[in-house]
Structure 1
């Protein structure tokens, strides 16, 4: 993020900076316990889920269900990451009534948007309430604009996508 002479390069620091610059948007949940929880799940996203990230590179426009099935079959870390994510999301959705993690769009949802794209791309199996969360997040205006922008790029690079021979 570049704001005048200020450059902020870490995702979590960018989120904090934006929340401070635009307090009226309530980018973090309003309650102290909910904000603490949201910050915790963002920190976990920021530092975890390496197996899923490594096995399933993010690509919004691809559909790679066979790769997802192999990753789940062959990589216990991917299974563990998916189980942790879906369990966390189920708990937050139940606690806050959905359709998003803290009831309404927050920084936590923005942090998980790339992971949601991985789940969609690789068609990883999720419980129905998590599938509903994924659809709600993808329909959120900012996320939808991000998806639409990515789809408009048509930026296929074979060396970055070892599982695809060409465009789907």
Structure 2
């Protein structure tokens, strides 16, 4: 079955990263179709047309966009991949926190945009983003304590790890101070083999785009 994943910049696009990681978790090999990131494609990045939504998965004649929709589709088509925890209670917990990161944390998103090319030491974090950072630390710490790590729901990564992965890059880029459990989890995500593959490709991209006011 052929599969295509439409994505945007690997350096800047947190949602593209999530969709790509979900495909990796499912074991689905995809051909990447890249939407260019420049001023002329701003309308595309603002998702004005379903044909340019990123990420968008095209698989076996089906088109799916929005990361949670992609996650649900892949979990149905590849149930053996174990994208959600096997235990029903843990699975419900996983769905809850993935929904939370999908729909919230707006101050964090705007204050610390994803940028894998750069690293800022002693970055002054906007005070409004601090409650978001604290909540993410709470989520990570709770999961690690309950399920034993090193990933959020135990020994193997799940949809939750794919959804929180861009946050780990933000905390690295902007040198955000974290407690020991959260810092260890950040490092686990940054060292995860699919993440290393994505980061290598991101750093090979030219840095030519203007910063956008919207996360994409």
How does the TM-score come out when normalised to structure 1? 0.87
| 1:120 and 2:172 matched | yes
Larger relative helix fraction: 1
> How many pairs are equivalent?
156
Partner of 1:3: 59
Unaligned segments of structure 1, at least 5 residues: 163-168
Partner of 1:24: 80
Q: C-alpha distance in 1, partners of 2:80/2:147?
A: 21
Partner of 2:142: 91
Q: Deviating runs (4+, > 4 A) in structure 1?
A: none
Larger relative strand fraction: 2
How well do the aligned residues superpose, as a CA RMSD in angstroms? 1.6
| 1:80 and 2:131 matched | yes
Deviation at 1:128, TM superposition (A): 1.2
| 1:61 and 2:117 matched | yes
SS for the counterpart of 1:91 is helix
SS for the counterpart of 2:129 is helix
Q: C-alpha distance in 1, partners of 2:77/2:209?
A: 39
Unaligned segments of structure 2, at least 5 residues: 1-56
| 1:107 and 2:159 matched | yes
